[in-house]
Amino acid sequence: MAPAKGDYRGNVARVAEAIVTAAGEGADLVVFPEASLTGYFLEGGVGDVAVPVAQVVSDIEEQLAGKLDRPVDAVIGFFERSDGNIYNAAAYIEFGPGKARLVHVHHKFFLPTYGVFDEERFVSRGRDVSAYDTRFGRFAMLICEDVWHSITPTIAALKGALVIVAIAASPARDFSGDEIGNLATYHKLMTGISQEHGVWTVNAMLVGFEGGKGFVGGSIIADPYGNIVAKGPVGEEFILVSEVDMDLIGIVRERSPMLADLVSVLEDVTREIDDVNEATCP
């Protein structure tokens, strides 16, 4: 998705339209990128478009009224206003013929504040990584830099996540190779998470241009073996559809019990983390 920068109402309408379109193609879950309701590079203007999550639910539900004949879930990236703070957030919401239901909200844990990124100046960071139950199984959500730190998806997997949804707004950079550098890295990160923990990963990437910066696109879905089973085009809006076989998780974990091995030594791992001295960290 390429949202119109700062146009919350217009983007809400486009998200609702995309949910209806995807539902018509058989989708049960529709995943939108980071900041899909507003655009990403807002800086000080983020306060003008940040809204409570309850408003996101009601505004999209209003747009969907009478247009869905069965339940369809969605993950939506937005800037949330909550308890006096603004967060870069992702909401998991169940829509359908009946009343919409908010399932979970994730606040971005790692806020990039370097290079072209300046998030920590304008938004507050999240304080937890949670797994939550959906009608399809246990999920977790991460946002952009959250997946660049291996500890966050590891925590999600340890908390029982079977599917890790990672949404991102990543400007294209590093054109020295055959594939755009940061996109190639995202693909390695997502497939690595899938392979190490035996989980499905879903990566939804923003597209479009803001302030001369082009978002890369190239969304993927990876199976628990670490294979990319679906890939979207670079730099284009696209609805990527794939079947997710939850039964495959148990098969993969039986053959490669990496997560079980981690659980078996978790007490020692936790002790080692507690022994880290911040004074000697890089």
The answer to the question of residue 182 being in a domain is yes
The pLDDT confidence band at residue 9, using thresholds 50, 70 and 90, is: very high
With a pLDDT cut of 70, the percent of the chain lying above it is: 100
Our CA angle for 88, 76, 196, nearest 5°, is 80
| Distance separating alpha carbons of residues 88 and 124, to the nearest angstrom | 8
The pLDDT confidence band at residue 43, using thresholds 50, 70 and 90, is: confident
SS3 86: strand
SS3 243: coil
pLDDT of 248 above 80: yes
Amino acid found at 75 = V
The two three-digit tokens of residue 84, written as one number: 């006096």
- Please report the pLDDT score of residue 113 as a whole number: 87
pLDDT per position as a tens digit, 209-218: 988 888 999 9
Which residue spans within the chain are E strands per DSSP?
29-31, 72-82, 85-95, 101-107, 131-134, 137-143, 163-168, 200-205, 207-210, 213-216, 220-222, 228-231
The answer to the question of residue 54 being in a domain is yes
Of 26-35, 144-153, 269-278, which gets the smallest average pLDDT?
269-278
The answer to the question of residue 1 being in a domain is no
The answer to the question of residue 66 being in a domain is yes
Report the pLDDT averaged over residues 214-241: 95
pLDDT of 172 above 90: no
pLDDT of 274 above 80: yes
The per-type count for the chain, helices as H runs and strands as E runs, is: 8, 12
Contacts of 232 (CB under 8 A, 6+ apart): 205, 217, 218, 219, 220, 238, 240
| Distance separating alpha carbons of residues 59 and 70, to the nearest angstrom | 19
Report the pLDDT averaged over residues 77-84: 97
Residue 91 near residue 78 (C-beta atoms within 8 A): yes
The answer to the question of residue 69 being in a domain is yes
| Sheet with 163-168: strands ordered across | 131-134, 137-143, 163-168, 200-205, 220-222, 228-231
Displacement of CA 9 from its chain's centroid (Å): 21
pLDDT per position as a tens digit, 122-165: 999 999 999 999 999 999 999 999 999 999 999 999 999 999 99
Question: Which is more confident, 175 or 77?
Answer: 77
Count how many domains the chain has: 1
- Please report the pLDDT score of residue 279 as a whole number: 81
pLDDT per position as a tens digit, 182-207: 899 999 999 999 999 999 999 999 99
Report the pLDDT averaged over residues 257-265: 96
The two three-digit tokens of residue 68, written as one number: 């869905």
Report the pLDDT averaged over residues 8-31: 97
Question: Which is more confident, 108 or 282?
Answer: 108
pLDDT of 175 above 80: no
Domain range for 19 is: 8-276
pLDDT of 177 above 80: no
The CATH code of the domain that includes 231 is 3.60.110.10
The two three-digit tokens of residue 13, written as one number: 């309408």
pLDDT of 282 above 90: no
- Please report the pLDDT score of residue 258 as a whole number: 95
The answer to the question of residue 95 being in a domain is yes
Contacts of 278 (CB under 8 A, 6+ apart): none
The answer to the question of residue 19 being in a domain is yes
pLDDT per position as a tens digit, 56-71: 999 999 999 999 999 9
The answer to the question of residue 2 being in a domain is no
- Please report the pLDDT score of residue 224 as a whole number: 98
- Please report the pLDDT score of residue 179 as a whole number: 82
User: pTM of the predicted model, to two decimals?
Assistant: 0.95
| Distance separating alpha carbons of residues 18 and 128, to the nearest angstrom | 30
pLDDT of 250 above 80: yes
Helical residues (DSSP H) of 148-246, grouped into ranges: 151-158, 181-197
